Amino acid sequence: MKKKSGNINVLAEKREKIEIANETIHCIDLFCGVGGLTHGLVNGGVQVLAGIDIDPQCRFAYEANNNSMFIEKDVNQLIGHDLENIFGDSKLRLLAGCAPCQPFSTYSRKSNRVRNDTKWELVSAFSRLVKEAKPDFVTMENVPQLLDHQVFKDFLEDLQGYEITFRIIECVNYGVPQTRKRLVLIASRLGSIDILPPSFFGYHNKVTVRQSIAHLPAIDAGGSAAKDPLHTASSLTNINLRRIQASKAGGTWRDWDESLLAQCHRKKSGQTYPSVYGRMSWNEPSPTITTQCFGYGNGRFGHPDQDRAISLREAAILQTFPENYCFLAPNEQVRFSKLGRLIGNAVPVRLGEVIAQSLISHLQNLN
């Protein structure tokens, strides 16, 4: 009789695991921005119920492209009960949190000085919400420098009861056409979990700038495409037009005539920034897309052969947003500073797909 009872228990356990594997994962995306992570999660098979962000300028793009509601709220003001109300009767719950990483940004760090930035608190707020809401799964995406800070060590300690995996992801290995490194963490209450390797998705060769944006119509500096207002490039001063005309794809400002050099290039410190005022290479991935990627002088953001910086649409495509992803409300004018920030701060859509598929694979392989 004991043996029979054991068999019944084993069958019941197997049945429960099969039922879990067939359940849909429901997600709340904290710090959702314009929906890069949300869009990738949905593409990968996760249902995103809501995105939460303090920035009202994210609302249109988030809701126009995703079947999810946008909640404008400071994450610091959320409590676990708020998230439980959104999750409702969802059986499998994922809490995603990609806290803004300005404290660790190369552009925002001050040499030999420690920044007192309140955005450090956002990682801690995310950790608090995990403890209060107790989701089945947790995922975090952030800059690699977070690994070296106490706030990340504290976050790991707060994930008691979870199996955890985290690593630095070379996004280019997962089909993202840019050299972007990100820290990705996935945690599960249900058992051991891992991030699927690039080979699982069939990624063997790097996706290039040519493969990503060469098909778009040619435009001039300061011009835009008739059918896509986001395919708009910032204007150039006369000196910068001459500089980009003298630039080679993949080259540096050292290719220029001395009369074109900027003051920063003439200083000894300027010798370490060869990519500034550079053109991208057709046959390589792009550099990391930043919030300033629309400006020719802000990095290697020159188009490979057109005399202009990359357009906002090209930046979005290099972030693996689909070409029809809508960032502009009807009759809204293009504002480079706003749209550059929203696109540059986004999680690449492809990375969201990797996270979603890793979670679903985890469910299917529970034992």
Active-site residue set = 101
CA distances from 302 to 10, 157, 239 (A): 61, 44, 14
Task: Please state, in angstroms and rounded to a whole number, the distance separating the CA atoms of residues 200 and 191.
Answer: 20
> What's phi and psi for 100, nearest 5 deg?
-50, 140
Q: Are 177 and 209 in contact (CB under 8 A)?
A: yes
Q: Tell me the C-alpha distance between 299 and 278, whole Å.
A: 6
Q: How far is CA 318 from CA 171, 183, 323, in A?
A: 11, 19, 10
Q: What is the DSSP string of 178-214?
A: B--EEEEEEEESSS---PPPGGGGT--SPPPHHHHHT
Taking the C-alpha atoms of residue 360 and residue 24, their distance in angstroms, rounded to an integer, is 9
CA angle 322/168/365 to nearest 5° reads 80
Cα distance between residue 105 and residue 14, in whole Å = 47
Let me know: does 315 contact 299? Beta carbons within 8 Å.
no
The sign one gets for the Cα dihedral 289, 291, 294, 297 is negative
Q: By the 8 A CB rule, do 59 and 34 touch?
A: no
Q: Which of 93, 106, 94, 103 is nearest to 123 (CA)?
A: 103
Q: What long-range pairs does 270-275 form, CB within 8 A, spacing at least 24?
A: 275/299, 275/300
